[in-house]
């Protein structure tokens, strides 16, 4: 597997701190929903920095989309979210990973995300939609506030046809909000379902403490640990 050049073809602001960067990668072999890529930046003096990012887009030819949170003191994310413009080029290596992967024939997933952890799960939801699948799918997405919900409009549009999107807003809620307003816990997971008797495949992605807490709650509810796949990242966005 080698590094290849990717052309930036678009940049979209998802929230005040999050951008999606769209790439065209000539010769891209295609990817599976949940896989990721390594991004490599090289400074003028030759210094290189690498980071891993989940692919947010469904498989679609040579198109690859990454959703990136700007981390103030980060080495890579400020460049990706602040400097990149259509026509720029960066280096990608991938797709990689086969552990945190879902495809439509695999039935009834429960997807649980904290913040930008929704990115690989969005690839699954987009693939499901593109394939015309109506397989029962639930997404529980924890965000700080209404304006911090990544892919909010698209999720609203895709909701239905077997997909149920549930939000919890942990820090602030808009006036009249009737949804969840706390961190994901055992009671919330039990209400959102499906329960362990239905043996759903569960995908959990978010900051490490989020993933740990959700996985523990799921096991407490009776889900089999081998049915729970996790992907964790850091540092914590506060």
Give yes or no for residue 170 binding another protein (CB under 8 A). Answer: no
**Member of 75, 187, 191, 198 binding another protein (CB under 8 A):** 75
Tell the smallest beta-carbon distance from residue 151 to another protein (Å).
13
| Other CB atoms within 10 Å distance of the CB of residue 115 | 25
Q: 8: which strand partners?
A: 23
Give yes or no for residue 6 binding another protein (CB under 8 A). Answer: no
Give yes or no for residue 119 binding another protein (CB under 8 A). Answer: yes
The residue written with tokens 């909010």 in the block is 152
The residue written with tokens 């996985």 in the block is 215
- Total number of residues shown for the chain: 238
Tell the smallest beta-carbon distance from residue 162 to another protein (Å).
26
Give yes or no for residue 232 binding another protein (CB under 8 A). Answer: yes
List, edge to edge, every strand of the sheet that includes 4-15: 48-54, 36-42, 89-96, 4-15, 18-24, 63-69
Give yes or no for residue 144 binding another protein (CB under 8 A). Answer: no
Tell the smallest beta-carbon distance from residue 143 to another protein (Å).
14
For residues 111 and 188, which CB has a smaller minimum distance to another protein in the complex? 111
Write the Ramachandran bin of 132: left for phi over 0, alpha for psi from -120 to 50, otherwise beta: left
Give yes or no for residue 81 binding another protein (CB under 8 A). Answer: no
User: Which 3 state secondary structure label does DSSP give 101?
Assistant: coil
Applying CB under 8 A, the span of 131-139, 170-178, 194-202, 229-237 interacting with another protein comes to 229-237
Give yes or no for residue 109 binding another protein (CB under 8 A). Answer: no
CA distance 5 to 88: 10
CA distance 43 to 200: 45
- State which of positions 27-66 bind another protein (CB under 8 A): 36-38, 50-54, 66
Residue numbers of the site for another protein (CB under 8 A)?
A: 1, 36-38, 50-54, 66-69, 71, 74-77, 93-94, 96-100, 116-117, 119-120, 207-208, 229-235, 237
């Amino acid at each position: 597997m080698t590094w290849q050049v990717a052309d930036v073809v678009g940049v979209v602001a998802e929230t005040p701190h999050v951008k999606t960067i769209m790439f065209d990668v000539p010769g891209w072999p295609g990817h599976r929903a949940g896989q990721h890529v390594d991004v490599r930046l090289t400074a003028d003096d030759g210094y290189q920095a690498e980071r891993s990012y989940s692919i947010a887009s469904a498989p679609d030819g040579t198109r690859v989309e990454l959703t990136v949170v700007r981390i103030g003191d980060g080495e890579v994310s400020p460049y990706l979210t602040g400097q990149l413009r259509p026509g720029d080029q960066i280096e990608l290596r991938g797709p990689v990973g086969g552990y945190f992967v879902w495809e439509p024939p695999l039935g009834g997933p429960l997807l649980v995300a904290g913040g930008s952890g929704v990115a690989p799960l969005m690839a699954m939801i987009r693939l499901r939609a593109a394939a015309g699948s109506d397989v029962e799918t639930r997404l529980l997405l924890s965000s700080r506030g209404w304006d911090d919900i990544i892919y909010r409009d698209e999720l609203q549009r895709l909701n239905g046809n077997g997909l149920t999107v549930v939000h919890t807003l942990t820090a602030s809620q808009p006036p009249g909000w009737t949804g969840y307003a706390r961190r994901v816990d055992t009671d919330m997971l039990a209400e959102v379902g499906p329960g362990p008797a239905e043996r759903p495949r569960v995908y959990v992605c978010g900051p490490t403490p989020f993933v740990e807490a959700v996985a523990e709650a799921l096991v407490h509810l009776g889900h089999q640990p081998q049915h729970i796949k996790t992907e964790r990242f850091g540092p914590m966005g506060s």
